[in-house]
DNA sequence: CGGGATCCTGTCTGATACTG
DNA sequence: CAGTATCAGACAGGATCCCG
């Protein structure tokens, strides 16, 4: 067994396998709050409250909870200053910044196709109305 | 008012605003099932059952539900053949393919940082154990 | 085969209150 | 200021049954 951990078992790395590690990580990251936080952090370092203000609509609880998950996965780095009142800084790790590239892409996509999507929705609604009766 | 709808009101296009259209669309797309479906579709055309087999772990219900949402937003195109038994094909629209680019990035990211994330998790768990008592 | 409808469970989420 | 705990409602998600 020479190539012990050199090449990871492919099953673990396949996002499409329900029980793979890749799927687990993907599921944790692929939700709006995590992605918005990553997007907002960017290359900056933000405090908890700043983050809360930037990601409009997120609750105190979801912010801590999501940050904890991202910290656990090494996507964000958390720095605690032993001051009073306490101060906690959040910034992306290298992995986080890499992920941010694609997240930016998603945000840009949303802006880019906003009008087309709105139009598609109208067409869909119209077709639905025709369909019934 | 000459520039009536030429430039969309910026608030609608800002993913960070809780009540914006952009946020609404972003939230609909930024979830694991939607992203996995988009990733699987790629440039191919797949039938319902094929899709179900490819996206391991998705339930019949979530697949239809998510597909309906994506169809509504004009991300996937649905073709129904009036045969018996019925045949329904799904493929990405242009908007869908554009989104897929970034989704692929996320999948690639997961594979790329799999080991680092696993290590980060171990460190996090270790720190947690130290912390208590 | 594709999909709608229903029921039921668990997780997500927000509001509120409390600690260091 | 940052974070935890708790409670209650909303919603995601699975299982099952029935229809064209």
Tens-digit pLDDT profile for residues B45-91: 999 999 999 999 999 999 999 999 999 999 999 999 999 899 999 99
Question: For the segment A24-69, what is each residue's pLDDT rounded down to a tens digit?
Answer: 999 999 999 999 999 999 989 999 999 999 999 999 999 999 999 9
Q: Is the pLDDT of residue B94 over 70?
A: yes
Contact at CB, B74 and A121, closer than 8 angstroms: yes
Does residue B114 contact residue A8 with C-beta atoms inside 8 Å? yes
**Shortest CA distance to B13 belongs to which of A108, A1, A99?**
A108
Phi, psi of B89 (to 5 degrees): -105, 145
A12-132 classified as CATH 3.30.160.270: no
Q: What is the pTM of this model?
A: 0.91
Among B30, B71, B114, the residue with its CB nearest the CB of A30 is B30
Radius of gyration of chain B from its Cα atoms, rounded to whole angstroms: 20
- Measuring from the CA of residue A86 to each C1' atom, give the nucleotide at the shortest distance: D1
Distance, CA of B65 to CA of B76 (rounded, Å) = 13
Quick one: which residue's CA is nearest to D13's C1'? B62
Domain boundaries, given as residue ranges, for chain B = 12-132
Question: To the nearest whole angstrom, how far is the Cα of B83 from the nearest Cα of chain A?
Answer: 19
Does residue A21 contact residue B118 with C-beta atoms inside 8 Å? yes
Among B23, B110, B124, the residue with its CB nearest the CB of A15 is B110
Q: Work out the percent of chain B whose per-residue pLDDT is above 90.
A: 79
- Measuring from the CA of residue A84 to each C1' atom, give the nucleotide at the shortest distance: D1
Distance, CA of A37 to CA of A41 (rounded, Å) = 6
In angstroms, the Cα distances linking B84 to A128, A131, B56 are: 23, 20, 27
Q: Is the pLDDT of residue B105 over 60?
A: yes
């Amino acid at each position: 067994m020479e190539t012990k951990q050199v090449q990871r078992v492919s099953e673990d790395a396949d996002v499409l396998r329900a029980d793979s590690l890749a799927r687990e990580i993907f599921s944790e990251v692929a939700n709006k709050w995590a992605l918005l936080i990553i997007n907002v952090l960017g290359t900056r370092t933000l405090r908890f409250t700043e983050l809360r203000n930037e990601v409009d609509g997120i609750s105190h609880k979801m912010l801590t909870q999501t940050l904890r998950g991202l910290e656990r996965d090494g996507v964000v780095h958390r720095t605690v200053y032993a001051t009073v009142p306490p101060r906690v800084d959040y910034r992306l790790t290298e992995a986080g910044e890499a992920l941010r590239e694609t997240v930016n892409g998603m945000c840009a996509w949303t802006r880019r196709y906003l009008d087309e999507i709105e139009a598609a929705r109208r067409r869909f609604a119209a077709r639905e109305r025709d369909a019934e009766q």
